[in-house]
Amino acid sequence: MNKVAVVTGAGSGVGRAAALALLGGGWKVALAGRRADALEATIAAAGENGANCLAVPADVSDAASVAALFAAVKEKWGRCDLLFNNAGRGSPAVDFDEITHEDWFGVVAANLNGAFLCAQEAYRMMKRQDPQGGRIINNGSISAYAPRPGSAPYTATKHAISGLTKSLSLDGRKWNIACGQLDIGNAATEMTQRMTQGVPQANGTTMVEPRMDARHVGEAVLHMASLPLDANIQSMTIMATKMPFVGRG
C-alpha cells in the first residue's frame, strides 16, 4: 500500500486516534497541527509505524500555512489520497449576547475557514495527480444537527461543514474526488473532559454525559478511507451509545 493521508489536528484527541488507525492500516500520514511537540508525541505513540509519518506544524486558519503543508506532502510523497479535515475549536458556553467577537471569529477561522483551505489544497492535488482522485472526510459533529446551549459559534460552523461536504461531493465527482462527513458525539478527548463533571442540557438541567473511546472514531475514519473511490460513505454518525442526543430538544 502506498496511499498518503493528511490529518489535521493530529496532535491530540480524535486527530491522533485517526492518524494512528490509518498508520496501522498501512497508510503514510502527514500530521498537521499547531504544536510540533504534540505531533512528535503522536509519532511516538505510533511505534514502528512512526516511520511512515511526516510532522508539519501548521495553522489551518492561515492560507500560507496550509499551502506550505500540502507543498511539504507533495515534496515528500508526491500525492494526497486522503484528507481528514479534523482541526477545530470551541468557545465558552455563554448566552448569545455574551459571545465575544474574538471567540466568534476564532471559531469560524479554525472550524470553517480552516476546513475550506485544507479541502481546497487537497482538491487541487487530487485533481491533478496521477492516478487522479482521492477522498476528503470532514469532521462534523452532533452539533451539525442539534445545538447545545450556548454553542452558537461551534454549531453554526458545524452546520456549515455539512454544506461544504455536500458541495465537495458534487463538485468532486468529475475528478474522482469523494467527500464524506463523520459526525462525532462525545469521544473521550480533552475537549469533552468537562462532560464528566456535568454539562448544561436543553431543558435547563445539568448532567454528566457518557463518552466513548476516541479509538473507535479512528477506526471509523479508517473504514471510510478504505473504500474504493467508486463507493462513498456520505455521512456517518458515531457516538457514545447513551449520550443524550437522540431526543435532544
DSSP 221-237: HHHHHHS-TT----EEE
- Nearest-CA neighbor of 192 among 174, 216, 209, 206? 209
**Gap between the Cα atoms of 45 and 22, Å rounded:** 13
> How many Cβ atoms are within 10 Å of 161's Cβ, its own excluded?
23
**Cell 483551505, residue?**
117
CA count, 13 A, side-chain hemisphere, 180: 22
Catalytic residue among 125, 154, 185, 225: 154
Annotated catalytic residue 145: no
CA count, 13 A, side-chain hemisphere, 15: 27
Q: How far apart are the first and last CA of the chain?
A: 46
- Nearest-CA neighbor of 28 among 80, 71, 69? 80
Q: Taking every pair of C-alpha atoms in the chain, what is the biggest distance, in angstroms?
A: 55
Active-site residue set: 154
